[in-house]
Amino acid sequence: MNDYFCPLTIWGVLTIWSLYIGLYRTHVDRVRAGLSPSPQEENRFSRLITSLLTTPNQDRPFHIEAALLSCLLIISGVFWFVLFFSDTIRYYALLDYHPPWLLPVGFVLAFLWERVWANLIPRRFSAGKHLLFHLKVGFTLMILIRFLCLPFSFLVNLLEKSILSISPQSEESKTEGNEVADHIRTLGMESSNMDPEVVEIVGNTLEMSQLHVQDAMIPRNQVQILDDQDSLEKNMEIARTCGHTRLPLCAGNLDHCSGIIHVKYAFRLLSEGAPIDLDSLARSPALLSSEEPLPVALRKMMKWKVHMALVRDEFGGIDGVITLEDILEEVVGEIQDEFDADEHAVEQLAGGKWRVPGLTPVHELPDELKLVEDEDEEELTSFGGFVTRELGRIPEKGETVNLQHLEVDILEADETRVLSTEVTLSEEPQDPEEEE
């Protein structure tokens, strides 16, 4: 009996472990399907379930951990069955050898055992009255298995990146979501019962699943920040004139952001004559990965109840920020209120001149100002980026440069970008290096 106790104990522990990891996975599936309510209480195990719900729907939670436990459960089950039945058969049948059918039969029995305890029984428990009790009991096991599987998760993620780099996603699979969205738009246009705006929103919503945070974020060089190394007066002036309701509080730049400030609290203290401490007003910043799918980012920001989050790159630096409004604009289009200036609009002036904001997309320039781009150069997105690239530096305010067929007067610029320009057609294109 002692020879069976150790493998039987291991097999039993793995069985209970597989039961609870199956229960958590099944419960998350039921919540996503609307069959069970989301956890309302603020406790440890409910936060774990909420974090699992923020993962993409195509990735079942604990998939690496569940696969590892299933393998160990089947292996230990086969070992115990073979050990037990081989001794039993030799004792009662007086055989000195292992029957050849013993190993496959042991595998079948171990496999069926694993399916029952890792799949069928968790389904039964997830729809039962004692679900809350079982979730609390299994919480410690879930934390432990997640910790133990960290090396395996790292290796699997590394393998996934290697495979994707060797065999990149085909253009057909990349555009599959867009084709579905276009098909819905076409059906909506052919139907007289569906509003065109609704059709467009539905199509944009489907296309959003193909986007990542980096596709909607505000780049760091366009983010207005409050610097805690500056005076309070300067920071309050920035808050008063920038037109934003939330601003990152940083020590020099976004890589050292200590929190996000809602300016209404600062102005409320100012109106009451109370002292203002920006550090005490700042809320800890939420962090998102630039490679995170946009729907997942939206779900996380709603769960965290934040309107602005910092976007982290693969090296731990900050690429920029993203807001709920940025994500919403991917669905309904650009949102502007009566206080927003049209930052990208090109204004034609008298005398054959144009006022061109630095953020104006290159493809939105008037035909007279169209630029000739080198195919070997990186694709441009803004007119200010074009000026900076051609000069090899950021121009200063009041500077005049000749680029291709354009004479560009820099009306406004800071240390990071060109803000506003006045453009005149020149007779002959000039090289910026000759001008210097």
CATH of the domain at 279: 3.10.580.10
Query: Do residues 128 and 18 both lie within one domain?
Result: yes
For residues 227 and 250, what is the distance between their CA atoms, to the nearest angstrom? 5
Residue 392 lies in a domain: yes
Query: Do residues 251 and 391 both lie within one domain?
Result: no
Side chain identity at 308, as an amino acid letter?
M
Contact 321, 386 (CB under 8 A): no
Side chain identity at 239, as an amino acid letter?
A
Residue 243's alpha-carbon distances to 73, 220, 239, 330, 337, in angstroms, are 59, 17, 7, 22, 11
Contacts of 362 (CB under 8 A, 6+ apart): 371, 373, 380, 381, 382, 383, 385, 386
Query: Do residues 204 and 222 both lie within one domain?
Result: no
Per-residue pLDDT tens over the stretch 224-241: 889 888 888 888 888 888
For residues 266 and 284, what is the distance between their CA atoms, to the nearest angstrom? 16
Query: Do residues 97 and 123 both lie within one domain?
Result: yes
Q: Specify the number of domains making up the chain.
A: 4
Q: Is the pLDDT of residue 3 over 70?
A: no
pLDDT band at 436 (very low <50, low <70, confident <90, very high): very low
pLDDT band at 188 (very low <50, low <70, confident <90, very high): low
Residue 310 lies in a domain: yes
> What is the CATH classification number for the domain harbouring 351?
3.30.465.10
Query: Do residues 59 and 100 both lie within one domain?
Result: yes
Query: Do residues 34 and 146 both lie within one domain?
Result: yes
The DSSP bridge partners found for residue 413 are 418
Give the pLDDT mean for 261-276: 86
Contacts of 140 (CB under 8 A, 6+ apart): none
Position 432 scores a pLDDT of 43
Query: Do residues 374 and 403 both lie within one domain?
Result: yes
Query: Do residues 237 and 324 both lie within one domain?
Result: yes
Q: Is the pLDDT of residue 431 over 90?
A: no
Token pair 């950021």 is found at 394
Position 182 scores a pLDDT of 58
Per-residue pLDDT tens over the stretch 56-111: 655 678 888 999 999 999 998 888 888 777 767 665 655 566 677 778 888 999 89
For residues 139 and 62, what is the distance between their CA atoms, to the nearest angstrom? 13
Residue 338 lies in a domain: no
| DSSP H or E run through 420 | strand 418-430
Residue 340 lies in a domain: no
Given 332, 358, 381, the domain boundary residue is: 332
Nearest CA among 412, 377, 382 for reference residue 395: 412
Query: Do residues 291 and 384 both lie within one domain?
Result: no
Give the pLDDT mean for 9-21: 90
SS3 56: coil
Using the 8-state DSSP alphabet, how is residue 38 labeled?
P
Contacts of 133 (CB under 8 A, 6+ apart): none
Give residue 313's domain range.
214-332
Give the pLDDT mean for 130-146: 88
For residues 127 and 120, what is the distance between their CA atoms, to the nearest angstrom? 11
Query: Do residues 119 and 10 both lie within one domain?
Result: yes
Residue 342 lies in a domain: no
SS3 404: strand
Query: Do residues 354 and 319 both lie within one domain?
Result: no
Token pair 């009255």 is found at 129
Residue 234 lies in a domain: yes
The DSSP bridge partners found for residue 349 are 353
Q: What angle do CA 362, 366, 372 make, to 5 degrees?
A: 50
Residue 339 lies in a domain: no
Using the 8-state DSSP alphabet, how is residue 362 labeled?
G
pTM of the model as a whole: 0.49
Residue 337 lies in a domain: no
Query: Do residues 109 and 183 both lie within one domain?
Result: no
